[in-house]
Chains A and B, each alone.
Chain A
Amino acid sequence: MHLPDGFLDGTTALATAGGSATVLTYAVHRTNRELGDRLVPLLGVTAGFVFAAQMVNFPVAGGTSGHLLGALLAAVLMGPWAAVVVMTAVLGLQAIAMADGGITAFGANVLNMGVVGGVVAYAVFAGTRRLLPDSRGGFLSAVALAAWLSVVLSAGAAALELAWSGTVPLGVGLRAMTSVHMIIGIGEAMITTTVVGAVLATRPDLIATLPAGLAAALEPGALEGDPEGLRAGGRGRARLGGFVAAALAVSLAVAVLLAPLASQEPDGLERVAEDEGFASAEKESVLNFTPFSDYEFPGIEGDLGVILVGVAGTLAVFAGALGLGRLLSRGHGQTATDEGATPGGGAEPGAGRGAGPAVGRVPGHGPGHGVLGHRHSGHEHASTQRDAG
């Protein structure tokens, strides 16, 4: 999904770079406020982790493999703004040091994989999480849905940019990109959920976005050093209605905007068959390179039926995720609490012996007391400020 140079025209490159720069400016501001300059090494080493995790291939089907995008994983572990900074650094290293992703397409790549895959998917995660019970199952269901969506939305954004540049027609590109990534997204969702689940079982204090109720349920002892009781309160529930509305609005907007675009172009093969009769006839205006001269930017006046299908689909996905979460939390809610008590419970099976007890706890840094606890409470504090304002 790393777009090289030349696939986007100047206007699209500039517009996406502008969008990314705006979000990044805010993200740097937030990260500086929440982490401080001195905690940057922590961010940097974590970026190294994302960089390495992206290179671990996972099997998809019969020998083919995909690899992790990791934007939502980073957002859940570090918070969305730190995740954008980390993703930008990762993409920058890939673009400059490995020629993976273009220089003029850098803004678009940051927009697709950092902003859309990280921040937008995180918004979906935050909204869904508040719809679901405050339990391990609910939390992980929200992670799974948002991780899947992060890959599909990133691919969709890339297809949109390619279409705006006149490189690949919107209908064909959108369908090809999203259908492939709907499959790859399942792998992303599985792996992200497994990782978050394992971290939840071993060091829940490392998850910056852990909801208050869940933190309290998992680790009653770890909250002693929390002077203002920030993590013990029920602030997740209080603003439920607003977040449900926001998440649904975002998803519905996406469905309403994208659904008609997806259906705009008829099947490519049909089209060729149709055109075969006259295709070689006219040769004037051959060198007139204006991508959208003939098919105007499709969209707004698309038929109502398609939009309704998109809306219905979105609602179905929401209802499905909700049901899944409730189901999972009924079965797993109790055992999850037990698991939390045994560090290293979920992390080992794939890791071999090397991932022994040293993984579970940093020597000399109990949960909530180390650098992480410091960082964590900083984040919570910042989000309270945001909530108040």
Chain B
Amino acid sequence: MAGTHHFLTDVRYGTSPIHALDPRTKLLSVLALAAFAVSTPPTAVWAFAVYLAAVFFVLGLARLPLGYVLRRALIILPFILAVAVFLPFFDRAGSGSYEVGGVELSHHGLLILWNVAVKALISVVAAIILISTTSFPELIRGLEGLHVPRVFTLVASFMYRYGFLFLEEAGRMRRAMASRNYSGRWLWDARLMGHLIAALFLRSYARAERVYVAMVSRGFEGTMPGAVPLDFRTADYAFLGALLGLLGVVRVAVAMSA
């Protein structure tokens, strides 16, 4: 399990106009895009085309490799497949259906599939752009700048710092189990994983106590020193203004045509 944190550090910290934006701008943009997309009715197909075009335009600006982004976007696939499984059962809305190769698909069901798939795609690609162009400390600073309660930002930054360490510790214990012939296949083998997690808890708690005592002895009083300063520049106003303007115009047009 070594190198598990490739999830977060696989990112090529390149330089692009998007990388240079203030983290608050990027956080607000993702939030706005997700909120606008979710609130748009699925029948307004052209609106989703505009949203997608905007997302992929920003993706191009950020110079992120398309394959990498799409591979990470696969995380939403299980949910879309789960909904797709229910498709034939949606015909009670009396909305008509299509026959495709002997399988009956209801129109209402297909509409719901399109609805969840396109909205999930837009928002997950936006989130991937955010995390691929922003370092974790920047993200935390951005959240602080947006007045997220400090207990969450502090807990999150500690979790980020130690979570992967514990993950690799768990990986080490798993290798130890495997080398001693553990090959759990069935639910009744799961107990041993419980022992592993118990050992992980005791170790991480011991570490937590050491970290805490070390911090207090160095004068920790509840705030983290040495934060990166935030800088909301002209480019941020321009980006956020353009995005919100576009989203607003599209949404109003959808509402008028409905």
State the A residues within 8 Å of B (CB).
Answer: 3-10, 13, 28, 31-32, 37-49, 51-53, 55-63, 68, 77, 85-86, 88-90, 92-93, 95-100, 102-104, 166-169, 172-173, 176, 183, 186-187, 190-195, 197-199, 202-203, 206, 268, 271-272, 275-276, 279-283, 285-289, 293-295, 346-355, 358-360, 362, 365, 370-372
Contacts and interface: CB of A to CB of B under 8 A. Distances in A.
A280 B190 contact: no
Interface stretch (B36-44, B59-67, B225-233, B240-248): B36-44
Most buried by B among A55, A96, A187: A96
Interface of B, secondary structure class, is helix
B152 interface: yes
A362 B209 contact: yes
B190 A190 contact: yes
Interface of B: 4, 7-8, 30-31, 34-35, 37-39, 41-43, 72-73, 75-76, 79, 82-83, 86, 88-99, 104, 106-107, 111-112, 115-124, 127-128, 130-131, 136, 139, 149-152, 154-167, 169-170, 172-174, 176-177, 180, 182, 184-187, 189-213, 215-216, 220-222
B101 to A, nearest CB: 15
Contacts, number: 369
B205 A9 contact: no
A176 B79 CA distance: 13
Nearest to B125: A99
A349 B209 contact: no
Contacts of A62: 185-186
Contact of A97 (B41, B160, B215): B160
Contacts of A347: 195, 198-199, 202
Contact of A282 (B94, B176, B203): B94
Contacts of A358: 203, 206
Contact of B89 (A166, A197, A206, A272): A272
Contacts of B159: 44-45, 47-48, 51, 89-90, 93
A315 B10 CA distance: 51
A283 B120 contact: no
Contacts of A272: 88-89, 91, 104
B196 A102 contact: no
Given A55-B170, A104-B34, A6 B197 contact: no
Interface of A, secondary structure class, is helix
B197 A68 contact: yes
B127 A86 contact: no
Nearest to A183: B187
A280 B97 contact: yes
Nearest to B7: A98
A100 B91 CA distance: 31
A38 to B, nearest CB: 5
A292 to B, nearest CB: 9
Nearest to B95: A286
Contact of A289 (B41, B89, B91, B190): B41
B199 A4 contact: no
Given A103-B34, A271-B89, A271-B92, A40 B202 contact: no
Contact of B131 (A43, A99, A193): A99
Contact of A352 (B90, B117, B177): B177
A85 B150 CA distance: 11
A239 B198 CA distance: 31
Contacts of A350: 173, 177, 182, 192-196, 199
B194 A40 contact: no
Given A62-B185, A63-B185, A168-B83, 13 more contacts: A4-B124, A42-B212, A44-B161, A53-B201, A99-B124, A104-B34, A104-B35, A190-B194, A282-B95, A294-B92, A350-B182, A350-B193, A370-B209
